[in-house]
Amino acid sequence: MATVLRNSGIPFIDQVSWGSHLCAFYETPHDLLETVAGYFAAGFAMNEMCVWAMPDEVHSVRAESRLRDMIPHFDEHVGSGRLRFVTAADRYMVEGRFDADAFDAFWAALLDQALARGHDGMRISGEALWLAKQPRADAPTSERCVERLLAGRPMIVLSTYHLAASRAADLLDAVRAHHPVVARRDGDWQPVDASNMPRNGLAVRDLGAAITRMQSQIQGSDQLTDRERKVFALLINGASSKEVARDLGISPRTVDFHRGNIIEKLGARNTADAIRRVLSRRRGLH
């Protein structure tokens, strides 16, 4: 397959090749719609069929109505089949469980349709957390499924993650598995760079040192106590409150107390937002 760069339609990502697996975090439904609209508009301009496996929490009629205002010639794209909306979840399931072969076959069939209709290829957007939470489809398994699907095919996939619904471990898995990664928060685009992050997790002492190095760039981080830094380091590494409590020899209730202080001092909305601020500061942004 010839190497042809495609416009991603997403700031900070720009040009990508076939087989790319992109990742975008979003904060609000409008952030998600804006992300998908730009991504698909770029696909239409490059003769690609675009398919959105919409998250369960997104109302399809309302989403289509808003996308109509965001994507030029929206009705024409839908009517011609260049833009499709699918509820693919049930088509991946065999006897109530996720089936990797069914997943691959479903999307490969849609790609065959796209090529038969004269499209150069296909781009997909879907909510990553749905797949990762299915039986027999943990995060590593879901990543392997997507990578197998993309191998040697003229396809691009954008996995989206709702920040409010993502656990700390979900965020870390995503930034480790994808490059590049972007976040859209309340209308603002921000790159997230974790290219130097060890794939097997970071030691508490290393995370603590990283937080210390970045404290001058994150408003409020200079107010964190040593204990809060240790708690935060473990949370960034994906530990639960019970796991943090066990490692530090304190109660889960004390961990939650420190967690609340960390969120307040960093001016974050929740734990995931606090972690995102640290990770995004690797590129000097928050």
| Predicted pLDDT at 44 | 95
Sheet with 21-26, side-by-side order of all strands: 83-86, 48-53, 121-127, 155-162, 21-26, 181-185, 188-192
**246 contacts: CB under 8 Å, gap ≥ 6:** none
User: Interior CA angle at 198 toward 196 and 203, to 5°?
Assistant: 120
Which CATH class for the 204-283 domain?
mainly alpha
d(CA 193, CA 283): 6
pLDDT per residue rounded down to tens, the chain (286 residues): 556 789 999 988 878 999 998 988 888 888 999 999 999 999 999 999 999 988 766 666 777 888 888 888 999 999 999 999 887 565 676 776 777 888 888 899 999 999 999 999 999 998 875 655 555 444 446 677 888 899 999 999 998 888 777 666 666 667 666 667 888 877 888 777 554 444 444 444 444 454 454 444 445 556 788 888 888 877 776 677 888 888 888 888 888 888 888 888 888 888 777 777 666 554 443 3
Would you call 70 helix, strand, or coil by DSSP? helix
> What element of type H or E holds 191?
strand 188-192
Q: What is the pTM of this model?
A: 0.67
160: amino acid identity, one letter: T
Domain ranges of the chain: 6-192, 204-283
* Residue 32 near residue 160, CB atoms below 8 Å: yes
DSSP character for 137? Answer: B
Q: Is the peptide bond before 140 cis (omega within 30 degrees of 0)?
A: no
CATH number of 6-192: 3.40.50.300
Count the neighbouring beta carbons within 10 Å of the beta carbon of residue 82.
20
